[in-house]
C-alpha cells in the first residue's frame, strides 16, 4: 500500500533533555536524506541497514539546526509497517519545531492525531482493540488501569474475540454447506450440538460483559461525589484524602459555593472526587446555584459519600439528601465523632434505610479516624474486596461493551430459534449478526467514520 509521508513531534512539546521527530511513509528515508549530514563521512540513509542509528546534523539548506541521532527502520518491520525515521534531537521547543518545519518543507506533511497508530491498524500490524489499548496505556491513571491496558495490548481481548468468532464461523459454514449440499451433509442431530456451542459462547460473552463496569472504573476512576449539609466536614474530608489544603475550610456554614474536583489514588484505585456545596434550603442566589449543581453531580455519580455531622441533629435537609441518593452506592460517614454524639446509631439507620447499597463508617476528619476503613469499603463495594489484574480480561471500552451486548443478544436469538424449532437459515442469520458484532471490536466490521473517530482522540505523534 503506497502512502504519502507523515511527520510529527512524538515527545511532549516542552523543554526537555531529548525530543523525537517521527517520520513514516514511502518517502521517509529519502526525505530525511535531504536534510541529514553525517559527521564523519558522506553517508546516504537510503544505503544503510535497517534498524541502525546514525550520528550527524540536521540542516535547512546551509543553516545548521541541531546535532542529532537518526534511527532508520525499513518496512515492513516497523510500527506502521512503512519506512520510518526517528530524529532524536535536543528537547527545546524551538529546535523541535524548527526540525519539524524543515522535514515538512522537504516532502512530508504534518501527521493527524493518532495517524501513526492508524496506519499500523490499516496496514494490519495491530487490530483495533490493540490500537485502543495503546491510548489507554498512555492515559493510565493508576496501576490497575496500566496492567489492564498492557494485557489488552498483548492481545487478551482480541485473542478471546477471535476465538469466539472462530467458533461461530465454523457453525455458519457448516449450516450453509449443509443447506447447499443436503445429500452429502446431514443436519440430523445438529441442533443439540449447536445449542451447546451457543450456550458456551453466550456464557463467555456474559463473563466479558460482567467485567465492563469494573473495567471502566479501573480505567477512568470512580466518579465520587461528596454530599451533605453545610459545615459537616465535606471539605475537610476532601483535604484529608487529597493530602493538601485544596478546599477552604471555615466554621461558617455555606463556605463551599461551587464544586471542587480532584483526582486521587487510594490503594491504587482512582477516585474522581467532587466536593459540592452543602445541600440546604437557602435564599442566597449564589449558594442556591451551588446546591443545584450538587444535586446534578450526585445524580451522575458512581459513588456517593454522604457526610453526616454526629454532633448536630438530623433534619429535613438530611431527608431530602437521602431521597436524592437512595438509588446510588453510598458510604455514609458519621463525622465529628470526636465531639459529643447527638445522632444515635438507630436514628441514622432509620434515616438511610431506603438506600439499597450502603455502608456506614464513623469518622473524624480532625483526628484522622476511619479513613483506612473508608478505603477498604470502596474495594468491597466495587471490586468484591480485591482487585487482581494478571491474566484476567477486563473490558474497559464502552464501544466493546456495546458490541458484546449485541453479540450476546444474537446468541440468545439462536437459542430461541432452536427452542422454537425454526428452519436452519434462521440460525445462520443470528450467528452472522453475532460474528459481525464481535468483528467491530477488532476492527473487521467497522466503517471509516468509526475508525476516524477513534484515532482522532489520540495524541499527536502517536
pLDDT in tens, the chain (462 residues): 457 999 999 998 888 889 999 999 999 999 999 999 997 767 789 999 999 999 999 999 999 999 999 999 999 999 999 999 999 999 889 999 999 999 999 999 999 999 999 999 999 999 999 998 898 888 877 777 788 888 888 889 999 999 999 999 999 998 988 888 877 777 788 889 999 999 999 999 999 998 887 777 777 788 888 888 888 877 777 777 766 555 444 444 444 445 678 888 776 678 888 887 767 666 666 666 777 787 888 888 888 888 888 888 988 888 888 888 888 889 888 888 888 888 888 888 888 888 888 888 888 877 777 777 877 887 777 766 455 555 678 888 889 999 999 999 999 999 999 999 888 888 899 999 999 999 999 998 788 888 888 888 888 888
Q: Is 274 helix (H, G, I), strand (E, B) or coil?
A: strand
Alpha-carbon distance of 242 to 236, in angstroms, equals 10
Strands 36-38 and 52-60, bridge-based pairing: antiparallel
Q: Which phi and psi angles does 22 have, rounded to 5°?
A: -105, 135
- Cell digits for 454? 477513534
Q: What's the pTM value of the predicted model, to 2 decimals?
A: 0.75
User: DSSP letter at 20?
Assistant: E
Domains of the chain: 6-111 (3.30.1360.120), 131-211+395-455 (1.20.120.430), 222-383 (3.40.50.300)
In three-state secondary structure terms, 334 is strand
Amino acid at each position: 500500500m503506497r502512502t504519502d509521508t507523515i511527520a510529527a513531534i512524538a515527545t511532549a512539546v516542552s523543554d526537555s533533555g531529548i525530543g523525537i521527530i517521527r517520520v513514516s511513509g514511502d518517502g521517509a528515508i529519502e526525505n530525511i536524506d535531504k536534510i541529514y549530514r553525517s559527521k564523519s563521512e558522506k553517508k546516504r540513509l537510503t544505503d544503510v541497514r535497517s534498524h541502525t542509528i546514525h550520528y550527524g546534523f540536521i540542516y535547512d539548506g546551509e543553516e545548521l539546526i541541531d546535532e542529532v541521532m537518526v534511527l532508520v527502520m525499513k518496512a515492513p518491520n516497523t510500527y506502521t509497517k512503512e519506512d520510518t525515521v526517528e530524529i532524536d534531537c535536543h528537547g527545546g521547543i524551538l529546535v523541535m519545531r524548527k526540525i519539524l518545519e524543515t522535514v515538512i518543507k522537504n516532502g512530508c506533511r504534518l501527521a493527524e492525531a493518532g495517524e501513526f497508530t492508524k496506519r499500523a491498524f490499516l496496514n494490519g500490524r495491530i487490530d483495533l482493540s490493540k490500537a485502543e489499548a495503546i491510548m489507554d496505556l498512555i492515559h493510565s491513571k493508576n496501576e490497575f488501569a496500566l496492567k489492564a491496558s498492557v494485557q489488552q495490548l498483548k492481545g487478551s481481548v482480541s485473542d478471546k474475540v477471535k476465538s469466539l468468532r472462530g467458533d461461530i464461523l465454523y457453525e455458519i459454514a457448516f449450516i450453509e454447506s449443509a443447506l447447499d449440499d443436503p445429500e452429502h451433509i446431514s443436519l440430523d442431530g445438529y441442533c443439540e450440538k449447536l445449542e451447546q456451542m451457543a450456550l458456551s459462547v453466550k456464557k463467555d460473552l456474559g463473563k466479558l460483559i460482567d467485567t465492563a463496569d469494573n473495567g471502566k472504573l479501573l480505567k477512568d476512576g470512580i466518579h465520587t461525589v461528596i454530599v451533605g449539609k453545610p459545615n459537616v466536614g465535606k471539605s475537610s474530608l476532601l483535604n484529608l484524602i487529597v493530602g493538601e489544603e485544596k478546599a477552604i475550610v471555615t466554621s461558617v456554614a455555606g463556605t463551599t459555593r461551587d464544586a471542587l474536583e480532584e483526582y486521587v489514588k487510594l490503594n491504587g484505585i482512582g477516585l474522581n472526587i467532587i466536593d459540592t456545596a452543602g445541600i440546604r434550603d437557602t435564599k442566597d442566589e449564589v449558594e442556591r446555584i451551588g446546591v443545584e449543581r450538587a444535586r446534578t453531580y450526585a445524580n451522575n455519580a458512581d459513588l456517593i459519600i454522604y457526610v453526616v455531622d454526629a454532633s448536630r441533629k438530623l433534619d429535613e435537609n438530611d431527608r431530602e439528601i437521602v431521597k436524592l441518593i437512595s438509588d446510588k452506592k453510598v458510604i455514609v460517614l458519621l463525622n465529628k465523632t470526636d465531639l459529643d454524639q447527638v445522632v444515635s446509631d438507630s436514628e441514622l439507620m432509620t434515616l438511610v434505610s431506603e438506600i439499597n447499597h450502603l455502608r456506614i463508617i464513623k469518622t473524624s476528619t480532625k483526628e484522622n479516624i476511619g479513613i483506612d476503613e473508608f478505603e477498604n469499603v470502596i474495594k468491597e463495594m466495587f471490586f468484591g474486596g480485591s482487585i487482581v489484574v494478571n491474566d484476567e480480561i477486563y473490558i474497559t471500552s464502552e464501544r466493546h461493551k456495546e458490541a458484546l451486548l449485541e453479540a450476546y443478544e444474537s446468541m440468545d436469538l439462536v437459542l430461541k430459534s432452536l427452542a422454537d424449532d425454526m428452519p436452519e437459515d434462521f440460525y445462520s442469520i443470528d450467528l452472522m449478526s453475532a460474528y459481525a458484532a464481535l468483528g467491530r471490536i477488532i476492527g473487521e466490521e467497522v466503517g471509516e467514520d468509526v475508525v476516524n473517530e477513534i484515532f482522532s482522540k489520540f495524541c499527536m505523534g502517536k
